[in-house]
């Protein structure tokens, strides 16, 4: 799970498990979690595995604000039952995380470029169409990324491959949509590094 995806359920758990009576700052924890949810959507990106957690955050925020206004509090039993619901809601994004790719240990940054090559002498056997065979080649190299260079996706054309893999696994086509959120430590189409020594 990514940073905000961890912090949001932790805030809700602190709110639910805090001994009675709750401090005023603790009562605001769901509201802070809701603000972090909007930040998560803007920075880390939406993914369907988080929908139960989004809904629970919204419900707990509304409930906590009503209870602040009415000067009431959750019963201990309701808090514990809601913690179980929180654990179940958190399980899905934890079991299907966005892959985190480790940065290489070398001193140089990494660039990558993708080529789609066509072999006119062979027919494509997978598309079901009468066309020449195409295949993709991806190259990684020492790079000197520009300030505007963007991180390369972990899976290029995830809009095509993720649904295809999901269908192959007999899952709904959106099952692996979160793979589009994974980035590599390599920069897409970055200029090659200039150095006076040989590359490793």
Are the C-beta atoms of 188 and 152 separated by less than 8 Å?
A: yes
CA distance 118 to 19: 66
94 DSSP β-pair partners: none
Q: Is 199 exposed, middle or buried (0-12, 13-18, 19+ CB in 10 A)?
A: exposed
Are the C-beta atoms of 159 and 77 separated by less than 8 Å?
A: no
CB neighbours of residue 142 within 10 Å: 17
pLDDT, residue 14, reads 92
Q: Order of strands across the sheet with 183-188?
A: 132-143, 109-123, 183-188, 151-153
pLDDT, residue 159, reads 87
In the predicted model, residues of the chain with pLDDT beneath 70 are: none
Nearest-10 Cα torsion for 100, 90, 18, 56:
120
pLDDT, residue 161, reads 86
pLDDT, residue 139, reads 94
Omega of the bond leading into 46 within 30 degrees of 0 (cis): no
pLDDT, residue 71, reads 77
pLDDT, residue 141, reads 93
pLDDT, residue 80, reads 83
CA distance 7 to 57: 12
pTM (whole model) above 0.85: no
Please enumerate in sequence order all residues whose Cβ is within 8 A of that of 162, keeping only pairs 6 or more positions apart, or say none.
Answer: 155, 175, 176, 177, 179, 180
pLDDT, residue 36, reads 97
pLDDT, residue 191, reads 94
């Amino acid at each position: 799970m990514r940073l905000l995806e961890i912090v949001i359920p932790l805030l809700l758990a602190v709110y639910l498990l805090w001994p009675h009576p709750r401090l005023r700052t603790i009562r605001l924890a769901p509201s802070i979690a809701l603000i972090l949810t909007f930040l998560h959507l803007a920075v880390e990106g939406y993914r369907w595995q988080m929908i139960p957690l989004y809904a629970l955050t919204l419900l707990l925020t509304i409930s906590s604000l009503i209870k602040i206004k009415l000067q009431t509090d959750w019963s201990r039993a309701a808090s514990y039952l809601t913690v179980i619901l929180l654990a179940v809601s958190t399980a899905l994004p934890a079991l299907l995380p966005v892959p985190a790719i480790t940065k290489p240990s070398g001193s140089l940054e990494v660039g990558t470029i993708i080529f789609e090559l066509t072999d006119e002498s062979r027919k494509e056997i997978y598309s079901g169409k009468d066309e020449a065979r195409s295949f993709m080649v991806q190259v990684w190299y020492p790079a000197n990324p520009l300030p505007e260079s963007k991180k390369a996706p972990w899976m290029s054309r995830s809009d095509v491959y993720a649904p295809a893999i999901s269908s192959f696994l007999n899952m709904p086509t959106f099952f692996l949509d979160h793979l589009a959120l994974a980035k590599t430590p390599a920069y897409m189409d970055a200029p090659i590094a200039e150095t006076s020594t040989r590359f490793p």
